A and B are shown apart, each in its own frame.
Chain A
Amino acid sequence: MIIEGKKTVWSQYQKNIADDHYFYIRSCIRQNLWPGSETAFLRIIRDELRKDVIEDANHTTCTGIGYHTDVVPIETTMTVVARLFALMTERGYENMITSCITSFGVITEILETWHEFPETEARTREFLKKATGRKFKVPHNLAHASDIIYKFRKEIKEKGTRSLVNANTGEKLRVVEHIGCHYSKMFPHKGIGGAEFPYVLIGMIEDWGGEVIDYPERRHCCGFGFRQYLVKANRGFSIACTKKKFESMEQFKPDFIITNCPGCNYFLDRWQYVISEMEGKTYSENNDGIPILTYEEVAGLVMGYDPWDLGMQMHQVGVEPLLDKMGVDYDPKKKYLDKNGNSMGSPEKPNVLNFCC
């Protein structure tokens, strides 16, 4: 591997990311699947970095899942997204951040479509006006939340108390990064590092002390692919995709996987459990599995946050082996307690994957 070659590619795909004053659009599914991640993002950006971020309780889906499964027509998607723009405009903001990678892809695609075909923007404005009476300005700057964490990754390192280093050996943790397809595969210049060698997560890992693994099936689909999973008959293909990735990365012995897509997080995590139940196979030593973390969770660990405050007890693959490697001081007894100290209940133990507490 010639790292200078990668640096050349990375240098060709940089983009302008706004410094402050963000309008934040949450994901439809992340609060269920990774309930601490969006909270951690806002905590880091607002409380640690002192940036101005607002949300609007009236915001809705971007329709991304419906759009990519051909349930929602593009005209509807454009109008719904135009309404999100209107909420931002009404609040006096012009820099939009999306939590979900598909929202980022949908909005990027719409902005590019409007740029190439202005009549589609005019028609959308008309639809929105008729439906809601609202007007809007297009965002001055659109970023995915991982872009923001990437932009402030050095500040996070400075303020943080932990690094991605094995506390026992002093060795860098070995990290697999996986980018959501909708981040840069449709519009490579809209993503840090482009589509083939995306850098947005690598930049975080490197600055926070870890080492990135480039394995042969790095670019392969996580297994979501929308219709691969949403059409029930295709789910065998979905899990086959995920299995292919794990078989490819196993030999590199990753300590964890970081992604910036809700779907990737979900399928790389849940399918490990399914594969282990079906075939008795895990892809790590001691049947621990490979922990899958969101970039906010990784940033939160670096900042020194409690892993249970980050929602890491909701993972299918246990994170404790990783926390132990990093030297994180956590209380196993609090794993399934809510913020008031009451038990949330705990899941059934899997047959193969190790499960702590």
Chain B
Amino acid sequence: MNKYVFIVGGGVAGAEAASQLLKLGFNVTLAEKESQVGGKLNQWDRLFPSKRKSTEVARFLAEGLSGNNFRLLLNTDILNIERTNGGFSISSGTAKFQADAVLIATGYDVFDARIKEEYGYGIYENVITSVELEARFKEGGKIFTPKGQEPKRIGFVHCVGSRDEKVGNHYCSQVCCVTAVKQAMEVKEVLPRSEVFCFYMDLRMFGLQFEDLYREAQEKWGVNFIRGRVSEAAENIDGSILIKVEDTLAGRPLKMKVDLLVLMVGFVPSAGTQNIGKILNLEFTPEKFLKPSDEHIDTYSTNQKGVFIAGTCKAPKTITDTFADARAAVLKIKQYLEEDVPGK
């Protein structure tokens, strides 16, 4: 099949879409701004709900990216995309590429926790993000405070940058609740004598086995779940963190010292998503994600014919859902290329 698809973004959605398009016989160029494909997947150690290693999924993705009709562009930023003769001309530096369809899979960025100034991220050394904790698991699972001490009490703050009117993000990031439950259990695995507290508004455990994880965290690992939002964090003289929270089940304010405070940072539209959306004159949702042409029956097409979207560039998603989304987008692209390409 002599059709070309250009994919922007080599994370889970982009790589899986490329793999499936290649299996269908299309020519695929995959452009990734980083030095390897996989995107945020490369930052995670183990994945919920089964705690399988992320490297297994990354390996699966990589195995699908081969063949004579595949071209991988790493360390590549897309400068411009314009329509030419019913197709697209894509510019990156001095290089130009032609395609019949474009798939945007530019993913998400994690919320910049410094914006939630009251938590002191970037100021208090013992306040870290869930991404940084995951990196520690990935590096071998040793957990120390910046001063090299083993933390005795660890707090997880849910919904940092999500469902938060103050920072302008009203949406749920979907994965943070279950990630906190997973990481809380992993902390208990590494530090069995530690006390672990999760501070949540409500737990959105929508996946099939997520509720079981929540139960396991309490029954097997003794993780404490406290319903209430942390209002502020401050640094004690020994570097530990003093947090204030309202326990809304007990109906009482709570002040507690933790040795490590983990902020469960949510999804925000990536800078790449913003950039490519502007280049292609795509429509955005009010949350600044890319807007599909129909929120129910076609979440893969856009307001620009021949431009498709997949994955977390259009909304927060789990990895499982991102795979499904990428494959569905491929079906839509196939239909377009076989039926709709101008001149056919």
Residues of A that sit less than 8 Å from B by CB: 1-2, 5-6, 8-9, 194-197, 214-219, 251-252
Q: Is the CB of B122 within 8 A of A5?
A: yes
| Contact status of A219 and B117, CB under 8 A, knowing A1-B123, A6-B123, A197-B123 | no
Is there contact, CB below 8 Å, between A217 and B114?
Answer: no
Closest residue on chain A to residue B239 by CB atoms:
A1
| A216 & B122 in contact (Cβ 8 Å cutoff) | no
Chain B residues 80-133 with CB under 8 Å of chain A are 114, 117-118, 120-125
Q: How far is the CA of A21 from the CA of B114 in the complex (A)?
A: 38
With the chains together, A74 CA to B187 CA distance in Å? 52
- Residue B242 lies at the interface, judged by CB distance under 8 Å to chain A: yes
Contact A194 B234 (CB under 8 A): no
Docked complex Cα distance between A6 and B124 (Å) = 10
Most chain B C-beta atoms within 10 Å of own C-beta, residue among A5, A195, A218, A219? A5
Given A216-B235, A219-B234, verify A194-B114 contact (CB < 8 Å): no
Please indicate the chain B residues that have their CB under 8 angstroms from the CB of A252 in the complex. Answer: 237
Query: Nearest Cβ distance between residue B30 and chain A, in whole angstroms?
Result: 36
CA distance A216 to B125 in the complex (A): 14
Task: List 11 additional A-B contacts (Cβ < 8 Å) besides A2-B122, A5-B122, A217-B242.
Answer: A1-B123, A1-B125, A1-B235, A2-B123, A2-B124, A2-B125, A9-B114, A197-B117, A197-B123, A217-B234, A219-B232
- How far, in Å, is A143 (CB) from chain B's closest CB? 23
* Identity of the chain A residue whose Cβ is nearest the Cβ of B124 in the assembled complex: A1
Smallest beta-carbon distance A212→chain B, Å: 13
**Residues on B facing A (Cβ under 8 Å):** 114, 117-118, 120-125, 232, 234-237, 242
Report the minimal beta-carbon distance from B341 to chain A, rounded to whole angstroms.
49
Measured CB to CB, the nearest residue on chain B to A219 is: B232
Contact among B118, B123, B232, B242 for A5, CB-based, below 8 A: B123
In whole angstroms, how far apart are the Cα atoms of A195 and B117 in the complex? 9
Bound-state Cα–Cα, A1 to B126, Å: 9
Contact (Cβ within 8 A) A251 B123? no
Q: Complex: how many Å from CA A213 to CA B118?
A: 17
Residues of A within 8 A of B122 (CB): 2, 5, 8
| Distance in angstroms between the alpha carbons of A215 and B117 in the assembled complex | 16
Which of A1, A6, A215, A216 has the largest number of chain B CB atoms within 10 A?
Answer: A216
Q: Give me 7 A-to-B residue pairs in the complex whose CB atoms sit less than 8 angstroms apart, sorted by A's number.
A: A2-B122, A6-B123, A9-B117, A194-B117, A196-B117, A214-B235, A216-B235
Q: Which residue of A lies closest to B117 (CB)?
A: A196
State the CA gap A216–B239 with chains docked (Å): 10
Instruction: For B257, give the chain A residue with the smallest CB separation.
Output: A216
- Report how far A8 CA is from B234 CA in the complex, Å: 17
- A5, A214, A216: which contacts B114 (Cβ < 8 A)? A5
Q: Given the complex, which residues of B lie within 8 Å of A2, measured CB to CB?
A: 122-125
Q: How far is the CA of A196 from the CA of B113 in the complex (A)?
A: 14
